[in-house]
Amino acid sequence: MLLFLFVKHASSFSSYVQADTSCLHWLLQKYFNFWHFLITALFFFSFFSGMELRRDFGSFHVSNVQELLEIPEEQFIPVKFPVDLPTFENYKEQTVPFGKRIRKDHFFLEDQVTFINHGAFGAVLREALETAQAWQTYIERQPLRFFDRELLPQMVNISRRLSKFVGCDATDLVLVTNATTAINCVIRGINFQKGDTIFFLSTTYGAVKKLLKEVSEEKELHLQEVQLVPPVTCKEQIIDLVDSNLKSGTRLAVFDHISSNFPLVMPLKEILPICKKRGVPVLVDGAHALGSQPLDLHSLQPTYYVSNAHKWFCCPKGCAFLYVDKQVKQTVRPLIISHGYGSGFNSEFIWAGYGFMDNSCNYLFIYLNFSSVCLLIIYLSIYLSIYLSIYLSISVFLLSICLSAHIYLFICLFAIYLSICQFSLCLYLSLSIHIYLSIYLKAKVVETVSLHDYTPFLAMHVVLNFWESLGEKVIHRYMKTLLNEAALHLKSVWQTRLAGPLEMFG
């Protein structure tokens, strides 16, 4: 609108003075038509594109991630996918041909292998890996478009979808590359005081124990490791162990959902209320849970929950999630502080790139928008003063003609007018520098951030399609049957005991 007025005003003024002098006409044509139009357009482009950046997605401005995650489900419009996502709709109408057929059609596994250890490293779903690769190819066709514009809305989209699958609010879940990273974020975020106690069972994953040891040495904490020795006769044995050993005032309790070398599902439904009653926050290491157990975090109510999607869920490698209870979200920070810092829990985790801009990127955009406003004010005042001086010159000129004298006065005023024009040219120059700087710095931010591969997260849509089409319950039932058969088979072949009752196996 303003641009329109400027242009309209400039051209009407030039036609008004056309009759007066051809020299003035030339000047006005030169300064007020082409340049005026161009610079005004550039100025407004720069100004509004600066504003656009604040509201749009970009590696350096992520506060709107939070807003998108908070949109109610019925109002949320998911972004489109630039790559094809397989749907597996055919499995909705037929009995799933588990076993060799599924392995052949949907996995890369060798024919002679019976792969049962998705717990160590999961075998990826064929279509998911192919989708991740399709994303990678797509990204490389225009990397800036993807990282700067498309990545974060896509990440929001998949976070929302996964949170529905595991039964929690999208704002309480972040995607991370693995369980170890997530556990580190939780442990390092807790404000432990000297002498605080961390409770855990002896079956806790080795790497987690090492982390606890390191933190306890650094912060002088007490580690309470309670021995859980197989065989377990019933789940009450574990519940009692926790009940009799966990003291209120314990700063943190850590439980595996399914421990790594001890294949029993922990009775979390019973353990967690005990911890809650004693005011003890709980970190559940569910590295093996997603895909092998139905998850409903709303009803389980852990303080922190971590799971890998690249084990039993069959996502491409480097895909996990961290859930954090709303009450303690402000304490959990990513290990790498980056552009999302200060913009909310999800924004802080969503971009793991780091580069020279760090916090200063905020200042860059404050600078860009502030300088845009300043330039607008200066520009308007100069603009008005030029017009005033022109009107004044013309008035004086007409007056001097009427009075048939004072031609020198006119020349003088005209010189003032010209100098103002020169000044406005300087302004145009500074404006150009401003535009150049903003474009250059914008490019620089993107150039210098370090990236990681986000495609495993994006390919999770395919894995979710697979699970939803085949049916989560159907898959779990099949896996459980297979697991029981395998356990009994090994028991008889190895002439050994089971580590616990079959119904606790996971």
Ligand X SMILES: Cc1ncc(COP(=O)(O)O)c(C=O)c1O
> Residues interacting with ligand X, by CB under 6 A?
178-180, 205, 207-208, 256, 259-260, 285, 287-288, 308
Query: Is residue 459 classed as helix, strand or coil in its secondary structure?
Result: coil
Q: Name the residue nearer to ligand X (CB basis): 245 or 260.
A: 260
**Among all chains, which residue has been given the structure tokens 């852990």?**
302
CA distances from 226 to 193, 198, 229, 244 (A): 21, 11, 10, 10
Q: Name the residue nearer to ligand X (CB basis): 57 or 304.
A: 304
- Number of Cβ within 10 Å of residue 168's Cβ equals 23
Q: Name the residue nearer to ligand X (CB basis): 285 or 348.
A: 285
CA distances from 222 to 166, 234, 332, 506 (A): 33, 29, 21, 31
Least CB distance to ligand X at residue 89 (A): 31
Q: Name the residue nearer to ligand X (CB basis): 185 or 208.
A: 208
Q: Where is 277: in which H helix or E strand?
A: helix 268-277
Least CB distance to ligand X at residue 96 (A): 27
Nearest to 330 by CA among 196, 219, 189: 189
Least CB distance to ligand X at residue 157 (A): 23
Q: Name the residue nearer to ligand X (CB basis): 250 or 259.
A: 259
Nearest to 282 by CA among 270, 272, 295: 272
Least CB distance to ligand X at residue 198 (A): 16
Q: Name the residue nearer to ligand X (CB basis): 159 or 307.
A: 307
Q: Name the residue nearer to ligand X (CB basis): 207 or 487.
A: 207
- Tell me the residue length of the chain: 506
Report the C-alpha dihedral over residues 412, 416, 417, 419, rounded to 10 degrees. Answer: 130
Q: Name the residue nearer to ligand X (CB basis): 129 or 283.
A: 283
Q: Where is 304: in which H helix or E strand?
A: strand 304-308
Least CB distance to ligand X at residue 282 (A): 15
Q: Name the residue nearer to ligand X (CB basis): 18 or 202.
A: 202
Answer for the pair 122, 310: CB distance below 8 angstroms, yes or no: yes
| DSSP label of 218 | H
Neighbour-count burial for 149-162, b at 16+ CB within 10 Å, e otherwise: ebbbbbbbbbbbbb
Least CB distance to ligand X at residue 452 (A): 14
Least CB distance to ligand X at residue 185 (A): 12
Q: Name the residue nearer to ligand X (CB basis): 283 or 445.
A: 283
Separation between Cα atoms, residue 229 and residue 209, nearest integer Å: 17
Q: Name the residue nearer to ligand X (CB basis): 66 or 178.
A: 178
Interstrand relation of 320-324 and 197-201 (parallel, antiparallel or unpaired) = unpaired
Least CB distance to ligand X at residue 189 (A): 17
Separation between Cα atoms, residue 232 and residue 504, nearest integer Å: 9
Separation between Cα atoms, residue 215 and residue 202, nearest integer Å: 17
Answer for the pair 294, 276: CB distance below 8 angstroms, yes or no: no
Q: Name the residue nearer to ligand X (CB basis): 118 or 461.
A: 118
Q: Name the residue nearer to ligand X (CB basis): 163 or 184.
A: 184
E strands within 168-281?
173-176, 197-201, 222-226, 252-256
Q: Which amino acid is at 188?
A: R
Least CB distance to ligand X at residue 139 (A): 24
Least CB distance to ligand X at residue 124 (A): 14
* Helices marked H in 403-459: 407-448, 455-458
Least CB distance to ligand X at residue 457 (A): 14
Least CB distance to ligand X at residue 255 (A): 10
Least CB distance to ligand X at residue 125 (A): 17
HEC per residue, 171-186: HHEEEECCHHHHHHHH
Nearest to 199 by CA among 247, 261, 267: 247
Radius of gyration of the chain (CA): 33
Residues with Cβ within 8 Å of residue 62, at least 6 apart in sequence: 152, 339, 340, 343, 347, 350, 351
